[in-house]
Amino acid sequence: MRRDVIFYQIFQRFPALIFELVDHPPVEAQRYRFESVEVKEPSFRIDGVFLPPDDANAKTVFFAEVQFQKDDDLYHRFIAESMLYLYRNRALYSDWYGVIIFPSRSLEPENATMYRAFLNSDQVQRIYLDELGDPSQQPVGIGLMQLTIAPEETAAAQARGLIERTQREVSSTVARGTIIEVITTIAVYKFTNLSREEVEAMLGLQLEDSRILREAKEEGGHEKALSIVLRLLVRRIGTLDEDVRGKIQQLSNSQLEDLSEALLDFVALAELLAWLEAHLSKDHENP
């Protein structure tokens, strides 16, 4: 299961979720943005950087690492990347915190002595998903992260419970649809012998119910659906130029639904362009 991809999707859609794990969340937690940042000379890529809003009173940057495999170099890399980033951007921030997420303590590097000053301080937190408690008693966002470590024999029931809570507790149509999509994607990764349709049936979802556009169509038709897909794409891969927006506007309702599923796996503009080329050319070939 590609848990790094899943957590990238979770944090990109809900950056403030990281602050449900930390002891000292910033005042502007809801306005942070999540990025993957490359630090050059030497070159490091920090997969999880949570950047404060430009007008924040306290410019605190948060670094996050999700570690689902044994890596004895983890702390060397995490501290080196974070410190180098701070050095390159020392004029931008007034403070920093680190969050390292493990499925369990068993995956921690064995020797943490060298970085004990960081690891034993309140500036770096280590989170163990299997120690957060009963998923049904956690906030929906935390339950979403815990679903990634659920054993296969209980994952379906846990996912169904999380979907029910999402439908009951999350008021925003876009947020509710996005969470359900991520839950379904996690289940697809877990149950590799099942098709997406079979997974949706197992989770008690009709095919339309699992898609974010169902309620959008009820609320405003094609234009509403188009607006939501464009907004999700901007959050997923960044600003879209007019040419790309024009191509998306040519899509039918069914194609927008397909795109709303496909965009969950996009990490770059090139993937969106390839998808549009394939589907628009197919549409032209079959008028």
**pLDDT tens for each residue of 220-237:** 567 767 877 887 787 678
Residues 177 and 266 in one domain: no
Q: What is the per-residue pLDDT for 221?
A: 63
Residues 9 and 96 in one domain: yes
Structural domains counted in the chain: 3
Q: What is the per-residue pLDDT for 287?
A: 47
Q: What is the per-residue pLDDT for 43?
A: 61
Residues 37 and 101 in one domain: yes
Residues 82 and 2 in one domain: yes
Query: Residues 262-267: what's their mean pLDDT?
Result: 75
| Total count of residues recorded for the chain | 287
Q: What is the per-residue pLDDT for 121?
A: 94
Query: Residues 22-41: what's their mean pLDDT?
Result: 84
**248-275 burial, b if ≥16 CB within 10 A, otherwise e?**
beebeeebbbbbbbebbebeebeebeeb
Residues 175 and 126 in one domain: no
Query: Residues 182-196: what's their mean pLDDT?
Result: 85
User: Which pTM was predicted?
Assistant: 0.66
**21-31 burial, b if ≥16 CB within 10 A, otherwise e?**
bbeebbebbee
Helices and strands in the chain: count of H runs, count of E runs? 11, 5
Neighbouring CB atoms inside 10 A of 58's CB total: 11
Last residue of a domain, one of 131, 155, 175: 131
Q: Which two tokens stand for residue 61?
A: 């940057």
Residues 10 and 92 in one domain: yes
Last residue of a domain, one of 158, 181, 210: 210
- Show the domain range for 200: 133-210
Query: Residues 77-95: what's their mean pLDDT?
Result: 93
Last residue of a domain, one of 76, 106, 131: 131
What is the rounded (10 degree) CA torsion for 164, 166, 170, 172? -110
